[in-house]
Amino acid sequence: MKSKHKGAYALAGVDISAADKTKDLIKDLVRTTFGPEVLTDIGHFGAFFKLRQYSDPVLVSSADGVGTKLKIAVLMEKHDTVGMDLVNHCTNDILCCGASPLFMLDYVGLGKLQPQTVAALVSGLAEACKEVGCALIGGETAEMPGMYKSTDYDLVGFIVGVVEKARVISGVNIVEGDVVVGLPSSGLHTNGYSLVRKVFGIDRDAISLKMIYPELGRTLGEALLQPHRCYHNDLKPFLGEIHGLAHITGGGLVGNIPRVLPENCSVQLDRSAWQVPSIFELIQKRGSIKDDEMYHVFNMGIGMVAVCGQETADKMLSSLADARQIGQIVKANGSERVIIQ
């Protein structure tokens, strides 16, 4: 009876043996992220994490995905970097509140469970988690034939971090005269890939991913899979002095900086203060895209924005070699919250 049911399920497109093999491949990777706060091994119905050494803790959570960058990973048959993307994106989001990550859970939905693909994803997740002291505490792998094509998958992350209540960063302390420090992105990060795929016709002919562009110094596919930069370790020493942080994701500088600004403040950015990476110039030229749309869709070379006083900015600029002072906070005048000159 048991073998009959197993065969029927396999005929329906779900391979239980592949799921078992996947668990064997990833369990050691996951355990490398555990610290003494993790009280359960993988495989239980829930994951236990003991919160320690905080006097007035506030938990900060976020959920996100990698978007259609996954299609590039599938076409390139390289899956570890999108695992890094997921952890780094989620970590940056809670960092904007002043929080450091405690633990993360992931969800992978697939058309056909390929154990080596999932193992590559988890290796990237684990590597990025270890960089920021985050436990990859659990997750779910769901094989769903009919929902996804055989090689397609979706990857989603759920992160929980913590910050002392007195050190929460909300943007309420931002005032006119504060300065804006920008930290460079490593590329597109995890946004704008639907437009990029259309511009280069990637879905029609993936050969464009293997083309070497002199301005990139590598193939297009390699440039597009550059992992999303994590800013946690760079900014952690300054969190007590920063008034506001904005992670520049979907919506670009124009859409994300206002999320942390008080209603009476706008930001004025100096476009000449940083170098826009070649990948964005190539996309704009190939797609004949206007500047305004580029700055609404892509990060344009700035992945994180910190708003602070000049003294703190000077310390950041001295400590972080690639940081740039890119603007200032001005009094709001009308509905325009981000002015790029």
CA 164, chain centre distance (Å): 23
pLDDT > 90? residue 44: no
* DSSP state, residue 56: S
pLDDT classification of 12: cutoffs 50, 70, 90:
low
| Residue 6 pLDDT | 56
pLDDT > 80? residue 128: yes
Q: Which segments of 212-332 are extended strands (E)?
A: 212-213, 218-219, 244-247, 265-269, 302-308, 324-331
Least confident of 1-10, 27-36, 60-69, 293-302: 1-10
**Geometric angle at alpha carbon 93, from 162 and 157, rounded to 5°:** 85
Q: How large is the average pLDDT for residues 120-140?
A: 97
Strand partners, 164: 57
| Residue 21 pLDDT | 80
Residue in the structure block whose two tokens are 């994106």: 89
User: Considering Cα of 216, then 218, then 224, then 225, what sign does the dihedral take?
Assistant: negative
pLDDT classification of 16: cutoffs 50, 70, 90:
confident
Cα distances (Å, whole numbers) of residue 340 to 82, 174, 185, 252, 253: 31, 19, 18, 12, 9
pLDDT > 60? residue 4: no
Percent of the chain past pLDDT 90, that is, above it, reads 87
Please answer whether residues 302 and 241 qualify as being in contact, where contact means their C-beta atoms are separated by less than 8 angstroms.
no
| Phi/psi at 311 (5° precision) | -60, -45
Question: pLDDT of 187-210, one tens digit each?
Answer: 999 999 999 999 999 998 999 999
Q: How far apart are CA 66 and CA 220, in angstroms?
A: 18
The widest CA-to-CA distance across the chain, in whole angstroms, is: 74
| Residue 314 pLDDT | 98
Q: Which domains does the chain have, with CATH numbers?
A: 2-164 (3.30.1330.10), 179-340 (3.90.650.10)
Please answer whether residues 13 and 143 qualify as being in contact, where contact means their C-beta atoms are separated by less than 8 angstroms.
yes
Percent of the chain past pLDDT 70, that is, above it, reads 97
Q: How far apart are CA 87 and CA 101, in angstroms?
A: 10
Q: How far apart are CA 189 and CA 31, in angstroms?
A: 27
Q: How large is the average pLDDT for residues 53-74?
A: 96
* Residue-averaged pLDDT of the chain: 94
Walk across the sheet containing 135-143 and list its strands. Answer: 57-65, 153-164, 100-110, 135-143
Report residue 183 as tokens: 């930290």
Nearest by Cα to 38 from 46, 52, 49: 49
Question: pLDDT of 270-323, one tens digit each?
Answer: 999 999 999 999 999 999 999 999 999 999 999 999 999 999 999 999 999 999
Report pTM: 0.93
Please answer whether residues 161 and 72 qualify as being in contact, where contact means their C-beta atoms are separated by less than 8 angstroms.
no
Q: How large is the average pLDDT for residues 247-276?
A: 97
